[in-house]
Copies of this chain bind each other. A is one copy, B any other.
Amino acid sequence: MKWKRSERLVDMTYYLLEHPHQLIPLTYFSDLYQSAKSSISEDLTIVKETFEEKGIGLLMTVPGAAGGVKYIPKMSDQEVKGIIQELIKELGQSDRLLPGGYLFMTDLLGNPDLMNRVGKVFASAFAEKQIDVIMTVATKGISIAHAIARHLNVPVVVVRRDSKVTEGSTVSINYVSGSSRRIQTMVLSKRSMKSGQRVLITDDFMKVGGTMNGMKNLLEEFECELAGVAVLVEAEHADEKTLVDDYYSLVKLHEVNEKDRTIELSEGNYFSKEREL
């Protein structure tokens, strides 16, 4: 079957979006569509320009015999700003206030469209870094971890509070929870990571950073390297400093007034971090 350009463009767009951060040889497309490489190159130029024009992402061309094309999900600053504003508006609703000054966020973490976009935001920030694994702690960070992982095309590992038979042999560490100062345990399956891997840690919420710090310690046990930290919401706290100082956040929670039922939020450090680079 001979493919028309219009059909190739639709199918190629689908294929590239389904295979982010993967090098696809031009021969893959020319064989699939029974078309000359020069036609495929022209197709890819159209895809590339549209992806860039619309803030969908970048299309990187790697020349040479081992070369090909790679789709890098990359969101425009404007779209990121829109998502942050959407999150602030959502999280600021007074019915999210829970006893103890906590915020109900479970519905947002269960919203696949929002999580997909949040995942793309963080994947954009780490697009140029070498990331081998996304790590999170059960349960609430899992949807964010998978959303980022999908855009970066790397596996997710989930740290647990307890050991389960289905995890096989595990490595366990104790750490001090940041806010409550209690000793807690973290467990990770031994098969989860290989030594030398670069790991992006993520979670839905960070206060003092005790859990994040626990995951950092766990990385050392696996002889892995911290490649970055991504949190949806960071909270201001009385302690002098967070235990983790190099992180990206989308939203910052300043104050919760349980009496007046008000929640004070602002933009996280995402854009100020970006400018550092």
Copies of this chain in the oligomer: 2
Convert A144-173 into 0s and 1s, putting 1 for each residue whose CB lies closer than 8 angstroms to a CB of B. 001101100111111010000111100000
- Any chain B CB within 8 A of the CB of A38? no
Chain B residues positioned under 8 Å from A111 (CB to CB): 155
Residue A54 CB within 8 A of the other chain? yes
Q: Which B residues are in CB contact (< 8 Å) with A116?
A: 18, 150
Q: Is the interface of A mostly helix, strand, loop or mixed?
A: helix
Least CB distance, A41 to chain B, in whole angstroms: 14
Q: How many residues belonging to A are interface residues under a CB distance threshold of 8 Å? A: 58
A221, B238: Cα distance in complex, Å: 41
Contact B140 A143 (CB under 8 A): no
Quick one: closest B residue to A98, CB to CB?
B168
| B100, B115, B139: the one within 8 Å of A139 (CB) | B139
Asked if A6 and B5 sit within 8 Å, CB to CB, the answer is yes
The reply to whether B7 and A6 contact each other, CB–CB distance below 8 Å, is no
Per the bound structure, the CA–CA distance linking A49 and B189 in Å amounts to 45
Which residue, of A105, A150, A153, A205, has the highest number of chain B Cβ atoms within 10 A?
Answer: A150
The verdict on A99 contacting chain B, using a C-beta distance below 8 Å, is yes
CB-defined interface of A177-194 with B at 8 Å, one 1/0 digit per residue?
000000000000101100
What are 7 sample pairs from A and B whose C-beta atoms fall under 8 A apart? A7-B46, A10-B47, A14-B17, A18-B116, A105-B166, A106-B166, A112-B153
B-contacting residues of A (Cβ < 8 Å)? 5-7, 9-11, 13-14, 17-19, 46-47, 49-51, 53-54, 56, 98-100, 102-107, 110-113, 115-116, 138-140, 142-143, 146-147, 149-150, 153-158, 160, 165-168, 189, 191-192, 205
Q: A10-B50, A106-B189, A139-B160 are in contact. List 6 more A-B contacts (CB 8 A).
A: A7-B46, A13-B13, A105-B166, A110-B158, A139-B142, A143-B146
